[in-house]
Amino acid sequence: MYEALLLLLPVAAASGWFAARRGVAVKSQKQPQEISPVYFKGLNYLLNEQPDKAIDLFIKLLDVDSDTVETHLALGNLFRRRGEVERAIRIHQNLIARPSLSREQRAQALLELGQDYMRAGLFDRAENLFIELTELKLHNEQANIYLLEIYQQEKDWKRCLEVADRITVSHYPALHNAIAHFYCELAEQQLRQQNMAAAESFLKRAQHMKRSNVRVLILQAEIEYTRGDCRSVIRLLRQVEGSDPAYLSETLPRTIECYRKLGQHQELYDYLEQLYQRHHCTEAMLILADMIAESQGEGAAVEAILKHLSDKPDLKGLERLVRLNLQRSEESPRETLEVLLSSVSKLLDKEPAYQCEHCGFTAKKIHWHCPSCKTWGAIKPIQGLGRNIKG
Chain-centroid distance of CA 174 in Å reads 13
- Give dist(CA 368, CA 250) in Å, integer: 12
- Give dist(CA 184, CA 274) in Å, integer: 30
- Give dist(CA 238, CA 274) in Å, integer: 12
- Give dist(CA 129, CA 114) in Å, integer: 6
Residue 356 marked in a binding site: yes
Q: Are 287 and 256 in contact (CB under 8 A)?
A: yes
H-run or E-run covering 9: helix 2-23
Residue 258 marked in a binding site: no
- Give dist(CA 143, CA 102) in Å, integer: 19
Q: Are 336 and 343 in contact (CB under 8 A)?
A: no
Chain-centroid distance of CA 203 in Å reads 22
- Give dist(CA 366, CA 37) in Å, integer: 60
Q: For the CA atoms of 261, 264, 269, 271, what is the dihedral angle to 10 degrees?
A: -90
Q: Are 335 and 324 in contact (CB under 8 A)?
A: no
- Quote the DSSP letter at residue 27: S
- Give dist(CA 263, CA 68) in Å, integer: 77
Count of CA atoms in the C-beta half-sphere (13 A) of 276: 21
Residues 157-164: contacts with CB under 8 Å, at least 24 apart: 157/182, 157/183, 157/185, 157/186, 157/189, 158/186
Residue ranges of the binding site: 356, 359, 370, 373
Residue ranges of the binding site for Fe cation: 356, 359, 370, 373
